[in-house]
Amino acid sequence: MSTRVQKKLNSGFNAKSEPSEILSGKDLSGKVAVVTGGYSGIGLETSRALAAAGAKVYVPVRTPEKAKENLKDVEGEVIVDAMDLADLASVRAYAASVAERESKLDLLINNAGIMACPEARVGNNWESQFGVNHLGHFVLTTELLPLLLNAGSARVVCLSSTAHLRSDILWDDVNFESTDYEKWTAYAQAKTANALFALGLDMKYRDQGLQAFAVHPGGILTPLQRHLPNEEMMALGWTDADGNLSEAVAALFKTTTQGCSTSLWAATSEDLAGTGGLYCEDCDVADLRDADATGFVGVAPWAVSEEGASKLWQLTEKMLAE
């Protein structure tokens, strides 16, 4: 299996670096960005940081009223319009609306997602976590490709997760049609898909100036956990009976601002120029995991497999054509 070479850059940043450190001295005036889920959790902080640095930030959302309320104190130019990643017609319409207003797109941060939710179906009977987290973003990105390529040096950042370590793509049963649904396996598969999509995108379009990166933002308590009751988070060792982070987890988890820093680093770091298809964490390139590795850092070989990236691209196009 051919894997994309993962090599730490010793970026000078760390797991708890703040957006102000990542973007210090950077002027993003004239840059155009799209941030999915850019009105909540780490997405909100991503939008805030990019806008503060001078970028025009588009935020596609399911509920514009709520998003505008959340974004009202963000300084800079932020444009909110409706889009639902589970509804591909709305995704295509949103991309078309951006193309009507912009001639280029410098940054696309595929940040939105759902996690460990009850079994549900979207689109053509697709499992919802794969459908929303991967297929929705695949369609958005490919619809925006002309704008990305027009920028000449655009970057796409796809948010993955350490959860990808739990599972490769379930190649024979992506939609849990013959396998019993298990929410964490479904989430893991979707996060592996996000990483492989970044690699596949980079493989296809790097020669045209487009770079793509996968990012594990770190452990952060955000609305992403809305499907997890506190009893389950207690069982995972995350919280106590009152919903507060356990002491051990509090030392590891990041704030929402720290949680967006790796996305910002992947989107703007000069150290990444001429590279792409990499899986990043803690504001640096992640290490490739050995078969006997433990813990929750590093990237599994299947998530940076060039064969896997090509296979997923073909599978995705087939699913979307059906």
The answer to whether position 80 is within a domain reads yes
For residue 5, being part of any structural domain is answered with no
Cα 293 to chain centroid, rounded = 24
303-320 average pLDDT score: 98
| Rounded mean pLDDT, 194-212 | 98
Task: Please compute the mean of the pLDDT values over residues 137-156 and round it to a whole number.
Answer: 98
Write the pLDDT tens digit of every residue in 226-277: 555 666 666 666 666 766 666 666 667 898 999 999 999 999 999 999 999 9
How many whole angstroms separate alpha carbon 89 and alpha carbon 94?
9
Q: How many domains does the chain have?
A: 1
Average pLDDT taken over every residue of the chain = 92
Quick count: other Cβ atoms within 10 Å of Cβ 292? 5
Q: Could you tell me if residue 225 is inside a domain?
A: no
Q: Which residues participate in catalysis according to the annotation?
A: 160, 187, 191
Mean pLDDT to the nearest integer, 88-96: 98
Work out the angle at residue 247's Cα, subtended by the Cα atoms of residues 242 and 252, and round it to the nearest 5 degrees: 115
pLDDT tens string 21-40 = 999 999 999 999 999 999 99
Residue 241 covered by a domain: no
Q: What domain range includes position 203?
A: 19-219+254-321
Residue type (1 letter), 262: T
CA angle (224 as vertex; 109, 108 as ends), nearest 5: 5
Count of beta carbons in the 10 Å neighbourhood of residue 152: 11
Report whether 131 contacts 88 (CB < 8 A): no
Write out pLDDT tens, residues 39-70. Answer: 999 999 999 999 999 999 999 999 999 899 99
Say if residue 192's pLDDT is above 90. yes
87 part of a folded domain: yes
pLDDT at residue 250 in the model: 64
In DSSP terms, which residues pair with 112 in a beta bridge? none
In a domain, 242, yes or no: no
Q: Decide if 200 is inside a domain.
A: yes
Q: The pTM is what?
A: 0.92
- Determine the pLDDT at residue 220: 77
CA torsion angle for 277, 295, 216, 242 (degrees, to 10)? 170
Q: Within a domain: residue 229?
A: no
Domain at 77, CATH number: 3.40.50.720
